Amino acid sequence: MAKALPKRSENYSEWYNEIVKRADLAENSAVRGCMVIKPYGFAIWEKMQRALDDMFKATGHQNAYFPLFVPKSFLEKEEEHAEGFAKECAVVTHYRLKANPDGKGLIVDPDAKLEEELIIRPTSETVIWNAYKNWIQSWRDLPLLINQWANVVRWEMRTRIFLRTAEFLWQEGHTAHATEQEAIDETHQMLGIYAEFAEGWMAMPVVQGIKTESERFAGAEETFCIEALMQDGKALQSGTSHFLGQNFARVFDVQFVNKENQLEYAWATSWGVSTRLMGALIMAHSDDNGLVLPPKLAPIQTVIIPIYRSPEDLATISKTLEPLIGQLKAAGISVKYDDSDHQRSGWKFAEYELRGVPVRLGIGMRDIENGTVEVARRDTLTKDSRPIDFSQPEAFVAGIKELLDEIQDAIYQKALDFREANTFLVDTWEEFKEQIEKGGFIMAHWDGTAETEAAIKEETKATIRCIPLLSADMAGKCVYSGRESPKRVLFARAY
RNA sequence: CGGGGCGUAGCACAGCCUGGUAGUGCGCACGGUUUGGGACCGUGAGGCCGCAAGUUCGAAUCUUGCCGCCCCGACCA
């Protein structure tokens, strides 16, 4: 028997690492800090991409692609942006290798030094706005609504698979607008799309909010985010949407002629989500038996496992199941019929649980005689036997479709209940220090100063995840300084 | 970059202290018995013991240097 997963309660990070490996999502690569995303993991990412991409397209965005390399001079232009990213950039200095004259192997050819170093993009604002300079002349060229799916590199000190890798996959939207208000509206719209995706597809409730100045994206006027609570009580920033003002338009000189024939700088936004969402998905729902996937993102929504003794039985079962498999597919349900002969049914049960397949159907000779199917739910680990007409399985399939919807809702509700049970209103500093050790979201008053924010971080490792958008203003006293505060903000320890 | 741990078969590890034929479990291949919650028996394949130098008749084992990975901190989507 294969080793059980580590328990969440005993060693959360080991549980996480093991689940990533054992569910066959990804593995560490030979390259430090970088991951190999395996087919099953990539299939989930592709489903995320598809859903998000459809939402981007539905709101008028188009995909394009910009280069991996950013000339150093581009990155330097926007001062805060440059400062924010400088310490985590991979730099290309040469363009050629040559045989080592002193021995084996290859060396960097010193004669092939680049005149200007190229940065491997940590984000693409600069390359993209350099291009936009030529794309935008008139108000008629606006808004310009572009997204790209790409990889980026941020040379992190310490990495964790999916959550923080040196190279990761993401999408970055970069839009240009004629007015400030339009850009602000876009920033909000995309934040809303991220929240809708997180909640509707990932079944992961999120808090939408504004970042404080110290947590803001380098070069942005305002950063909005969605924050989710993981099962170990830590927060995970799961998406960001930035209002960039005219900062990048100014430094790249992107001006357009408005309706009054006057030159104006364009207004910008950028927004992104990354393969970090894979980590969020794992940590939001999975249990000690393995991954739990929301049906909308599961590469396999239903797995069918035949239970048999002889090859003849298997042939009978396979034949009997043909209409059912056909109907499931016709209903748009992704189904895998695992009739492989080298693993036994019990092994398969455990394996598909580990991989988070939402619904498992077990069918043996007894079921065929009785006209039943064993239906097992991954989220609750419950089983029941349902009647089926194997030659006309439409009614049964409708029931499975319903069940998948029910599971999607149930795991969202479970995650929401967890978040509500782990969100605390805290009014005293003593209580704050005590609660932060236990984990969870803390809603507390803050005096609005960076000093207080830094002091709280220093003393408790908790950061202000965001100033929530949807909670009402209600004045109070800062939990740390006792000064006036207009509303509560969201504190947590974060990934 | 600090502190800790580890590099031996695809994976998990033992062997190292005290130098002398490279091992165990899982997985893999083949055969058989099994099959409603991770089956069992038998046979077999699979290794430059992280790399390099040194000590030695002889190094997985001792010495030195290097490289890599993981965990904990500082930095971060």
CATH number, domain at A55? Answer: 3.30.930.10
Tokens standing for A412? 């969202």
Q: Residue A457: which nucleotide is closest by CA–C1'?
A: B74
Distance between the alpha carbon (CA) of A98 and the C1' atom of B53, Å = 26
User: Has residue A323 been placed in a domain?
Assistant: yes
User: Has residue A393 been placed in a domain?
Assistant: yes
- For the segment A129-135, the average pLDDT, to the nearest whole number, is 97
* In a shared domain, residues A65 and A198: yes
Tokens standing for A53? 């991409």
Other Cβ atoms less than 10 A from the Cβ of A69: the count is: 15
Amino acid at A443: M
Backbone angles phi, psi at A136, to 5 degrees: -115, 115
Looking at the structure of chain A, the number of domains it has is 3
Q: Residue A33: which nucleotide is closest by CA–C1'?
A: B69
CATH number, domain at A336? Answer: 3.40.50.800
What pLDDT sits at residue A103? 66
Q: Which nucleotides of B are covered by protein (CB under 7 A)?
A: 1, 26, 28-29, 34-39, 68-77
Give the residue numbers spanning the domain of A428: 423-492
User: Has residue A4 been placed in a domain?
Assistant: no
A299 Cβ neighbours under 8 A, 6+ residues apart: A40, A43, A44, A47, A334
Strand order in the sheet with A302-307: A335-337, A302-307, A359-364, A372-377, A383-387
User: Has residue A34 been placed in a domain?
Assistant: yes
- A181-200: pLDDT as tens digits: 999 999 999 999 999 999 99
* In a shared domain, residues A334 and A190: no
* In a shared domain, residues A53 and A146: yes
ipTM of model: 0.87
Query: What 3-state DSSP class applies to A229?
Result: strand
Q: Let me know: does A327 contact A336? Beta carbons within 8 Å.
A: no
Distance, first Cα to last Cα, chain A: 34
- For the segment A74-88, the average pLDDT, to the nearest whole number, is 91
Q: How far apart are CA A180 and CA A293, in angstroms?
A: 40
Q: How far apart are CA A466 and CA A117, in angstroms?
A: 36
Query: What residue has its CA nearest to the C1' of B73?
Result: A158
* In a shared domain, residues A162 and A267: yes
* In a shared domain, residues A433 and A463: yes
- A231-242: pLDDT as tens digits: 999 999 999 999
Distance between the alpha carbon (CA) of A164 and the C1' atom of B2, Å = 21
Query: What 3-state DSSP class applies to A224?
Result: strand
Helix (H) or strand (E) holding A174: strand A167-177
- A255-314: pLDDT as tens digits: 999 999 999 999 999 999 999 999 999 999 999 999 999 999 999 999 999 999 999 999
Question: Does position A64 have pLDDT exceeding 90, yes or no?
Answer: yes
User: Has residue A113 been placed in a domain?
Assistant: no
CATH number, domain at A471? Answer: 3.30.110.30
List the beta strands (DSSP E) in A185-339: 207-210, 222-229, 235-245, 255-257, 263-265, 267-274, 302-307, 335-337
Question: Does position A483 have pLDDT exceeding 70, yes or no?
Answer: yes
User: Has residue A151 been placed in a domain?
Assistant: yes
* In a shared domain, residues A186 and A148: yes
* In a shared domain, residues A182 and A247: yes
Q: How far apart are CA A37 and CA A19, in angstroms?
A: 14
The chain-wide mean pLDDT, for chain A, equals 93
- A391-428: pLDDT as tens digits: 999 999 999 999 999 999 999 999 999 999 999 999 99
Q: How far apart are CA A357 and CA A280, in angstroms?
A: 17
Last residue of a domain, one of A385, A418, A451: A418
* In a shared domain, residues A209 and A235: yes
User: Has residue A80 been placed in a domain?
Assistant: no
* In a shared domain, residues A44 and A134: yes
Query: What residue has its CA nearest to the C1' of B27?
Result: A2
Distance between the alpha carbon (CA) of A95 and the C1' atom of B51, Å = 28
* In a shared domain, residues A370 and A482: no
Q: Let me know: does A351 contact A300? Beta carbons within 8 Å.
A: no
* In a shared domain, residues A201 and A258: yes
* In a shared domain, residues A277 and A187: yes
Tokens standing for A97? 């290798």
Backbone angles phi, psi at A141, to 5 degrees: -80, -5
User: Has residue A104 been placed in a domain?
Assistant: no
What pLDDT sits at residue A1? 36
